[in-house]
Structure 1
Amino acid sequence: MSTLYLVGTPIGNLEDMTFRAVRIMQEVDIIACEDTRVTGKLTHHYNIKTPLKSYHEHNKDRMTEVLVAMLKEGKSIALVSDAGLPLISDPGYELVNAVRDVGLTVITVPGPNAALTALMTSGLSSYSFLFNGFLPRKESEKYAKLNELMQQPHSILLYESPYRIKDTLMTIAKVDAERKVALARELTKRYEQVVTAPVNDLLTRLENDIPLKGEFVIVIDGQYEVKNVEQWWDALTINDHVNHYIAEGQSSKDAIKQVSVDRNMKKRDVYNSFHIQD
């Protein structure tokens, strides 16, 4: 019977491939993957001869129809990502829904996951956690999202590139400079590194003790008790607060929006304070 298999693959060390995953990838008719070059290294290592087809963010709409048609013809397909579990911060749920809509079978073949691997080794609480994948790139939106997440009594799991890790740690420090954070890089590989410390300490160790190489997982300790955290802008008036963001290059509209988020105020009230003079 034709089946869509969701197959977990190694996040670094190729020896983390399961016997079942190898067998399924050998038995299916097609392996749908993000990058055929990346998955090709894995299939070559395990002598898997199954043809590869690209399935990624930019072609998922067209390829979902193609793959569903193949399944309806009686073929079976394995969906994999470049590393770890498919669908986790990667496209694929649309394909799962489309396959189920036509009455065909979806089976999961579990495997490694970078976020959970980092949480396991971080030393931070693992009883409850929130996974948020990648943060917004725009600074004001990133700050707003982190400010929201870091008020929660759960560990926060994030992905970040080596090119943005420093900026993201600086934004975390704006929310709470003393919050304990774990940085995990090169997980399961030869130079695996997991460092847990207050975020300000991590910032001083970047580039020297912590090379900016490899994809990062960030684990942020939850806020488990209510506390009054002193904010950098507490001594500023609302107008000075807005002008601070304008001086950084934001438009007055964006600066007012950010101040409303910082101070948990209505945007209209910040606008009126800034624009209406006595």
Structure 2
Amino acid sequence: MSTGTLYIVATPLGNLEDITLRAIRVLKDVSVIACEDTRRTVKILNRYEIRTPLFIFHEYNKVRAGASILRRLRDGEGVALVSDAGTPAISDPGFELVREAIAGGVPIEVVPGPSALIAALVVSGLPTDHFAFEGFLPVRREKRRKAMKALASETRTMIFYESPQRVADFLREAAEIFGDRRACFVRELTKIHEEILRGTLPELCAEISRRGSVLGEITIVIEGVGKTVELSVEEIVQAALEESSGSSRDLAREIAGRTGLSRKDVYAEILRQRQK
């Protein structure tokens, strides 16, 4: 018996019209659809008269459910992996399933479509030629600030996901650490209450703090540090060392590639600071 195929299927962020014809066909043809929340996915299935059974796969059951999905694939069944919205395997346990499927020799096909991070980036008005997706930063304040400081010298446009409960704190800390940079606050993209706010980080921080609370799924896009802003090798290395505990050579290679600084100079500075 041949192995079944795992299909990575992108689904709408909110507007149910944002789905491809191929996605609809695949969702109808597979044996089962692995989803995070049946209540979310069933809306798409009902809209397009898809009768395929659903199988719950999320962060809290990923080990057991992942093993079951792999058994189905080995038995020749086709499985579609979807997330609650957008492209699966980004900031969710789907990537672990994909990794296990690859290790097991399972054929994988991607059915591309909506992605919150790409949609937010292109609507932000910030540079799109080079960007870095950071996803969710740590929940704890100390670790979140440490992560932001490590990104202080990042020249690429940065994209973050954040929860409504923490977004005011996120913007407050981002304004403090990144300064007066341009940014874009994107909420409930493609949905009825879609909102896109553009301005500097302090301006966005003031607006969200004034409201007291916000609802919905949020993406924040922040411009990278301007090329005219000169940070010393010492400052860049210090910020990177707060986040990384890897080898000095690997860290020097990463910093040099990101900033254009001499790898030799960066390596020497790393050694100097680590010997303090």
Deviation (angstroms), 1:190: 2.1
The aligned runs of 1:39-58 (5 Å cut-off) are 39-58=41-60
Secondary structure of residue in 1 paired with 2:17: helix
* Counterpart among 188, 191, 196 of residue 190 in structure 2: 188
For the structure 1 residues 181 and 91, does the alpha-carbon distance in structure 2 shift closer, same or farther, using more than 3 Å as the test? same
For the structure 1 residues 224 and 210, does the alpha-carbon distance in structure 2 shift closer, same or farther, using more than 3 Å as the test? farther
The residue type equivalent to 1:29 in the other structure is: S
Matched with 2:236 is: none
| Count of residue correspondences | 240
Matched with 2:165 is: 163
Does 1:77 pair with 2:79? yes
Contact 2:165–2:213 (CA<8 Å) still a contact in 1? no
CA displacement, residues 209-243 of structure 1 (integer Å, 9 cap, x when unaligned): 797121110101011225369xxxxxxxxxxxxxx
Secondary structure of residue in 1 paired with 2:42: helix
Q: Tell me the distance in 2 between the aligned counterparts of 1:189 and 1:10.
A: 10
Q: Which runs of 5 or more residues in structure 1 are unaligned?
A: 230-257, 270-278
Deviation (angstroms), 1:153: 0.8
Q: Tell me the distance in 1 between the aligned counterparts of 2:108 and 2:15.
A: 27
Deviation (angstroms), 1:94: 2.2
Q: Tell me the distance in 1 between the aligned counterparts of 2:188 and 2:70.
A: 35
For the structure 1 residues 148 and 69, does the alpha-carbon distance in structure 2 shift closer, same or farther, using more than 3 Å as the test? same
**Runs of 4+ in structure 1 over 6 Å off:** 264-269
Taking only aligned residues, the RMSD between alpha carbons, in angstroms, comes to: 2.5
Matched with 1:233 is: none
For normalisation by structure 1, the TM-score amounts to 0.80
Does 1:108 pair with 2:110? yes
Deviation (angstroms), 1:123: 0.6
Q: Tell me the distance in 1 between the aligned counterparts of 2:167 and 2:127.
A: 22
Q: Tell me the distance in 2 between the aligned counterparts of 1:207 and 1:11.
A: 26
Does 1:204 pair with 2:206? yes
Does 1:67 pair with 2:69? yes
CA displacement, residues 59-97 of structure 1 (integer Å, 9 cap, x when unaligned): 111112111111111110000000000000011222222
Contact 1:150–1:156 (CA<8 Å) still a contact in 2? no
For normalisation by structure 2, the TM-score amounts to 0.80
Larger radius of gyration: 1
Q: Which runs of 5 or more residues in structure 2 are unaligned?
A: 232-238, 244-269
Sequence identity percentage: 39
Q: Tell me the distance in 2 between the aligned counterparts of 1:210 and 1:12.
A: 25
